Amino acid sequence: MKFVSEPSTTVKMQKMKQRVRWQDPAIRERGIDQTEFIIDDGQREEPEFSFMVVGDSGTGKHLGESPQRQIAEMMLEHREECRFVLHTGDVIYLVGSSEYYPSNFIKPYREFLVGGENPNKIQYDRMVFNLPFLPVPGNHDYYDLPVVYGALSLLSMPVRRLFRAKVDLDVGWHGSWQGKAYAKAFLDYLAGIGTPEEFATHLDRHYVAYGSQGRCLRYQPSQFTRLPNRYYTFRYGGIDFFALDSNTFNDPAPLGNDKESVEYRQMLEKRRVAIEQEKLEIMERSAHLNPNNPEEADQLDDLRTKLELLEENENDIDKQLDTSRSPDVDKEQLAWLEQRLIESWNTDAVRGRVIYFHHPPYVTEATKWDQAQTLAVRYRLRKVLDNVAKVVGQQAENRSIVDLVLNGHAHCLEYLRTIETGHADSNINWIVCGGSGYSLRRQREEGAELFEAVPEAASKTHLVAKSHLFVGRTGHGSDKHRPYSFVRIDVTAGSPPKFVVRPMVAERHRSQWSSKTLPAFEIE
């Protein structure tokens, strides 16, 4: 039995376009770019600035504690010095439901919201941020509950009680409605505006800034803090930021009919059966544990982590085994990124580029590197960067096409740097920031180096990336360490800019919390 369902790429794109009334005639006639916005804070031209990054935070109470709240309290110490917060996705667990926004987002981040002194009065679709809060959607922000599970929930069957009281997966009565909750929480939800007159008035009130393509949305902290689209760009301090929705270009290519593919399919089918059996065993073991006993509660936490991981692996397998689908790729978004990167390199005012999205192309967390979705994202991003490099190679000289890539999805904090990959993603800095609240993961047993098959000889591999920092779950039993994390990044003046990364950790160990700042490191 699957505990979550995920809409197809086509449905995700169609639904999100409808919600922002993509390319509506009234938008086109005003020359509005729905993928750009301007942060109107009076400071965006200053070359030195700082920002924070969090990700995979959207959990509520966990073992009687709130790791996300611990991180939020540490973030408050940097709020006055930072200009905005980037969120790398999975804002709400487990299925992006609107009913969990109050406990899993509004209350933990209440000081970042206008009216946060009374968080119970803030509606999830009426949030206004006093510090720009700029997320991208994660896979959980698109998830829904299968019909059969919804029926079980409605009837309060044992599996529901198991999840809520035992495994504590933050599963309620419904899911995200194919990403609708995320859209209503963060996007300028134009589909909700009634008459043509009201729509025109809204556009002429809020789309009054001017970006690189003409009119665009004006983001006003403490007044109007909506995003124009699920993927977007903004410029701050001479740095171009590109936010992507990787949920629509992470579809693995379908398996072929050759002998090797058939054997691989058979292996995946056996693995899927084993996963289902493991899930049942976890449910049975959980039913006999007491969440009020600290030692057994710790075991329940391990089981919850394992169950969520198995579900994720099962989804990855199902995408590969689904013979009814064709590889569904958001070509429009990838073409947009390619075009805007080229334009960025041909703009004198731009001195650096940062991309952020959910699924990491490079990561040493225990499960992600070998997933088909990881390969799909890496392949498609490489293709974009390769195309950009062909056009701007001379302007780039010895610099990478982008200075920094930020991701989530892997529940850890990690800094990696690619080596020579054979593509334009060589020598890029990658930070995975996915350990800001949800259950943490360990590093893979193979260690800090990532190898990839050589295209000309599949039996050979070559080193493509090295991890220089990994912060995740360590230890066992009563000596288990849970270091939740976020990063502050300081951007220096000058061209090319330097990025000073300051990792922050709130660690849970032996039922006690401690906070610390890890040594800063500089990247360029």
76-119 pLDDT per residue, tens: 999 999 999 999 999 999 899 999 999 999 999 999 999 999 99
Q: Mean per-residue pLDDT for 205-217?
A: 97
Instruction: Write the CA distances from 335 to 33, 149, 253, integer angstroms.
Output: 15, 38, 19
DSSP assignment letter at 190 = G
What's the CA gap between 219 and 221, in Å, rounded?
6
Q: Is the pLDDT of residue 349 over 70?
A: yes
496 prior amide bond cis, ω within 30: yes
Q: Tens digits of per-residue pLDDT, 114-156?
A: 999 999 999 999 999 999 999 999 999 999 987 545 444 443 3
* 3-state DSSP assignment of residue 521: strand
What's the CA gap between 403 and 423, in Å, rounded?
15
- Region for residue 31 given its phi and psi (left: phi exceeds 0; alpha: psi -120 to 50; beta: otherwise): left
* 51 shares its domain with 173: yes
Domain end point (choices 290, 321, 352): 321
* 334 shares its domain with 294: no
The residue count of the chain comes to 524
* 447 shares its domain with 471: yes
- How many domains does the chain contain in total? 2
What's the CA gap between 409 and 307, in Å, rounded?
16
* 287 shares its domain with 237: no
Q: Tens digits of per-residue pLDDT, 350-362?
A: 999 999 999 999 9
Q: Tens digits of per-residue pLDDT, 488-511?
A: 999 999 999 999 999 999 999 988
Given pLDDT bands bounded at 50, 70 and 90, which one contains residue 288?
confident
Instruction: Write the CA distances from 131 to 83, 110, 173, 287, 403, integer angstroms.
Output: 7, 11, 32, 43, 24
Q: What is the dihedral of CA 176, 250, 134, 513, to 10 degrees?
A: 80
Instruction: Write the CA distances from 441 to 67, 174, 375, integer angstroms.
Output: 14, 27, 20
* 282 shares its domain with 234: no
Percent of the chain past pLDDT 90, that is, above it, reads 73
What's the CA gap between 451 and 465, in Å, rounded?
7
Q: Mean per-residue pLDDT for 2-22?
A: 92
Q: Tens digits of per-residue pLDDT, 222-281?
A: 999 999 999 999 999 999 999 999 999 999 877 777 887 788 888 889 989 999 999 889
Phi, psi torsion values for 140, nearest 5 degrees? -70, -25
Neighbours of 28 (CB within 10 A): 10
* 167 shares its domain with 265: no
**Residue 3, in any domain of the structure:** no
The pLDDT score that the predictor gives to residue 259 is: 81
Residue 396 makes CB contacts below 8 A (sequence gap 6+) with 345, 389
* 374 shares its domain with 229: yes
Query: What pTM does this model have?
Result: 0.93
DSSP assignment letter at 227 = B
The pLDDT score that the predictor gives to residue 265 is: 86
**Residue 309, in any domain of the structure:** yes
* 342 shares its domain with 280: no
- Region for residue 379 given its phi and psi (left: phi exceeds 0; alpha: psi -120 to 50; beta: otherwise): alpha
Q: Which domain holds residue 143?
A: 9-253+324-523
